[in-house]
A and B are shown apart, each in its own frame.
Chain A
C-alpha cells in the first residue's frame, strides 16, 4: 500500500531561520511526488512536481529535492507569509489515472 509520512508535524521558525521539511514515501513505482501549500480555510495550492531521484525544483524561498525514499522541502530565510501547512503527496505508476496519496502535512509557523 502506498504511504506518505511527513515530519515534523509542526515547526516553528524565526524569520530568516532556514530549515527543511521531510516527506518519506513508499510507493509501487513513483510516477510523481507533489508538494502543496495549504493556508487555513483554503484548498491546497500546488507548488512542485518531482518525477525522479536527484531532481530539484525551486520557487522563491522554497526548494524541493527527491531521493528514492524521501523528499525534502528546504525553506531558505523564511518570512512570516511562508506560514502554512505543507502537504506532500505521491502518485504511483500505472495505466490510466492513479490517485494522489497525501501525508498529514507539516504546519509551519514563521515568527517575525
Chain B
C-alpha cells in the first residue's frame, strides 16, 4: 500500500481566509482523491485529481471553493477558500492502490476548525 502524508494535520482558521492542504505520496499514482468527513457524517468525495488535467468535482463542490492542484504523480493540494464555520471538517487525501485500482488508501487527514 502507498504511504500518504498530509500537511497540516490540524489547523484553526479565521472565517474568510483560505487554507491549503498538501498531500504527498511515496509512489507515483495516476489518480488522487480528496474527501471531506464532517462530524457524524460519512466520507464524501470532493473531487478526483489527475496529473496534467483539471480536477473533476462531485455534485455540490465547485472549483472556486475547493481549487485543487496536481503538479506531478506524487503530490496534490486542496485549498479551502473563503472559509466559514460550515467548512469545519476533516479533509482526507486518498489514492487508489497502484496496479489494482480498486482499494483506496488514505492519509491521516487534516482537521480544520473555522472560527
Residues on A with beta carbons closer than 8 Å to the beta carbon of B41: 104
B-side binding surface: helix, strand, loop or mixed? Answer: strand
Contact: B45 with A44, CB < 8 Å?
no
With most chain B CB atoms within 10 A of its CB, the pick from A43, A45, A105 is: A43
Contact: B106 with A43, CB < 8 Å?
yes
Residues on A with beta carbons closer than 8 Å to the beta carbon of B106: 36, 43-45
Contact: B31 with A97, CB < 8 Å?
yes
The size class of the interface chain A forms with chain B is 20 to 34
Once the chains are docked, how many angstroms separate the CA of A50 from the CA of B50?
Answer: 26
Residues on B with beta carbons closer than 8 Å to the beta carbon of A65: none
Q: How many residues of B contact A (CB 8 A)?
A: 26
Q: A32-B102, A97-B31 are in contact. Are A43 and B45 (CB under 8 A)?
A: no
- Within 8 Å by CB of A31, from B102, B105, B107, B111, lies B102
Closest to B43 in A: A102
Q: A4-B42, A97-B48, A100-B45 are in contact. Are A46 and B109 (CB under 8 A)?
A: no
Contact: A43 with B108, CB < 8 Å?
yes
Given contacts A45-B106, A97-B31, 13 further A-B contacts (CB under 8 A): A32-B103, A41-B109, A42-B108, A43-B94, A43-B106, A46-B1, A87-B43, A99-B58, A100-B43, A100-B104, A104-B41, A104-B42, A105-B42
Q: Contact residues of B with A, CB < 8 Å? A: 1, 4, 6, 31, 33, 40-45, 48, 58, 92, 94, 96, 101-109, 111
For the complex of A and B, 3 pairs with smallest distance between CB atoms = A43-B106, A102-B42, A102-B43
